[in-house]
C-alpha cells in the first residue's frame, strides 16, 4: 500500500531520513540540524510503500534544539501535517 505524506515546515533546510513503525503507528523522520535557515514555509511530499495500513501517521522533526512530533490527518487519500 502506498502512503503519501505532505508536510509544511516553518523553515527550509529539512531533510527526509526515512520511516519506521512504532507498533501500528507509522513515523516519518525528518531533520533540520544546521544553524541558519530561511524562515519561509516549505512543503515536502513523501511517498512510501508499506506493508499495512497505519492507525496513525506521525511526523518527527529532529532539530538542534531537540525536536517536534506532530500528527498528520488524512484528507482525500493524502496525509497532511504542518509544523506547529
> pLDDT tens-digit profile of 20-32?
999 999 999 999 9
Torsion of CA 64, 18, 13, 46, to 10 degrees: -140
What is d(CA 13, CA 1) in angstroms, rounded to the nearest whole number? 29
- Domain span at residue 14? 2-82
d(C-alpha 77, C-alpha 37), whole Å: 31
Instruction: Tell me the pairing of strands 25-32 and 56-63.
Output: parallel
Position 54 scores a pLDDT of: 98
The pLDDT tens digits of the residues spanning 49-82 come to 999 999 999 999 999 889 999 999 999 999 999 9
| Between residues 32 and 40, the one the model is more confident about | 32
Q: Flag whether pLDDT at 33 surpasses 80.
A: yes
CA atoms within 13 A on the CB side of 37: 18
In this prediction, residue 36 carries a pLDDT of 63
pLDDT of residue 40: 82
C-alpha grid cell for residue 65?
534544539
Quote the number of domains for the chain: 1
Please report the pLDDT score of residue 37 as a whole number.
Answer: 64
Amino acid at each position: 500500500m502506498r502512503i503519501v505524506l505532505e508536510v509544511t515546515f516553518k523553515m527550509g533546510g529539512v531533510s527526509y531520513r526515512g520511516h519506521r513503525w512504532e507498533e501500528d503507528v507509522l513515523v516519518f523522520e525528518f531533520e533540520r540540524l544546521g544553524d541558519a535557515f530561511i524562515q519561509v514555509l516549505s512543503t515536502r511530499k513523501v511517498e512510501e510503500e508499506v506493508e499495512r495500513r497505519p492507525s496513525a501517521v506521525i511526523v518527527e522533526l529532529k532539530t538542534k534544539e531537540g525536536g517536534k512530533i506532530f500528527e498528520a490527518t488524512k484528507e482525500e487519500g493524502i496525509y497532511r501535517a504542518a509544523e506547529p
